[in-house]
Chains A and B, each alone.
Chain A
Amino acid sequence: MMSILDTCQQEAKKAGAAKVSKIHLQIGERSGVVVDSLKFVFDMATQDTMAEGAELEIDLIPFEGECSHCQRRFHASEGFLVCDQCGNYAKLISGQELNIKSIEVED
């Protein structure tokens, strides 16, 4: 959380802004981040910073695999990289993202 805030404040300062009004994140389903916990600490963490009162938008990126055999792309909701149709092993396509996509700033 603190590294997110540090980066956002740095970028806002670089852009000559006075306030961060929105932080937009992309979080993978299998990134290790608990989105609810992130939301829970957000208001507390942003207190007395440039991002106080900012909106937090999170795109949750699904944990997806692509089958090594039939090339089917599927949502690995159980956490298994095994094709839900033909049962062959799959490779990881998405779900480990941990990105700050953008911020909105005000002067």
Chain B
Amino acid sequence: MCQDCGCLEADQTKIDGKPLAVMSHAHPHDHSHQHDHLHHMKEADGTGREISIKQNILQKNNQIAQHNREHFAQHHVFSMNWISAPGSGKTALLERMVEDLGHELSIAVIEGDQQTDNDAARIRQAGAEAVQINTGAACHLDAEMVHQALHKLPLQQNSLLVIENVGNMVCPTAYDLGEHLKLSIISCTEGEDKPLKYPDLLLTAQVLLINKIDLMPYLDFDLDQCIQWAKQINPEITIFPVSAKTKEGLPAFYEWLQQTL
């Protein structure tokens, strides 16, 4: 069950239409992963014994995320986890990015949605490799889903992997997928106070794209105020106002991306 919203997980998950297999350690990787647990036992005063655990609640997820991280390092893959509300333009931005950078940079995409493989089909149409995860009832991707998807994805050396999370601004922020960085997206139509209403997204992300700026002449959206609030939530966040439609602002984002890779 998702700790944040209580939705059911995993048992309904599908990757490219096939049910998710249960994670087993018998998969073919030639690297080991470390599991560090701290256990100290002491006798308590009362009838019970106290056992010190000191373990993150999401430890199991985090261990698989660490495994994914090693996989990325081995293949020299730079990975990003894109998180936003549904309809903010994640897939449209990815299509643009594949069209604009695909000739000089190998890009692969893991798509997360509750249902349909529409988004993976759009990315393939744009010219990149894509795998679709359908989470069924679940509201976010976890490290295990990404781990299974990685086995279906031929990763190129020195490439970029984008994991497009399920459209949701809350639960996905809590799950480490093994990515190098989280990128958040807010679109102008959502209102400038989105950073205030959903601070967890801004707090955990290193980059914010403010999309659909081509619509600003028709909206009351206050871009400066949005940027100011985002910086108050996370002073270190890097912000790019962009338009997937007109490509305005995208060259600056691409330049940052190429310097970051």
| Interface residues of A, Cβ cutoff 8 Å to B | 1-4, 6-8, 11-12, 14-15, 17, 21-22, 25, 30-34, 37-38, 41, 68, 79-82, 89-92, 96, 98-107
Assuming the A-B contacts A32-B170, A33-B3, A104-B48, are A11 and B234 also in contact, with contact meaning beta carbons closer than 8 angstroms in the complex?
A: no
Any A CB within 8 A of the CB of B238? no
Min CB–CB distance B17 → chain A (angstroms):
26
User: Do residues A81 and B1 form an inter-chain contact, with CB atoms below 8 A?
Assistant: no
User: Do residues A11 and B53 form an inter-chain contact, with CB atoms below 8 A?
Assistant: yes
**Can you list 22 A-B pairs, Cβ within 8 angstroms, ordered by A?**
A1-B1, A2-B1, A3-B3, A4-B57, A7-B55, A7-B59, A11-B51, A30-B200, A31-B174, A32-B171, A32-B200, A33-B3, A37-B6, A82-B235, A91-B236, A96-B203, A98-B57, A98-B58, A100-B56, A103-B50, A103-B53, A104-B51
User: Do residues B53 and A90 form an inter-chain contact, with CB atoms below 8 A?
Assistant: no
Bound: A100/B234 CA distance, A:
27
How many residues of chain B get a CB closer than 8 Å to chain A's CBs? Answer: 37
Min CB–CB distance B243 → chain A (angstroms):
28
Bound: A32/B204 CA distance, A:
11
B residues near A106, Cβ cutoff 8 Å:
47-49
Which A residue's beta carbon lies closest to that of B55? A100
User: Do residues A104 and B4 form an inter-chain contact, with CB atoms below 8 A?
Assistant: no
| Interface residues of B, Cβ cutoff 8 Å to A | 1, 3-4, 6, 39, 41, 44, 46-61, 170-171, 173-174, 196, 199-200, 203, 231-236
Assuming the A-B contacts A7-B59, A30-B203, A32-B174, are A80 and B233 also in contact, with contact meaning beta carbons closer than 8 angstroms in the complex?
A: yes
A residues near B41, Cβ cutoff 8 Å:
15
User: Do residues A32 and B52 form an inter-chain contact, with CB atoms below 8 A?
Assistant: no
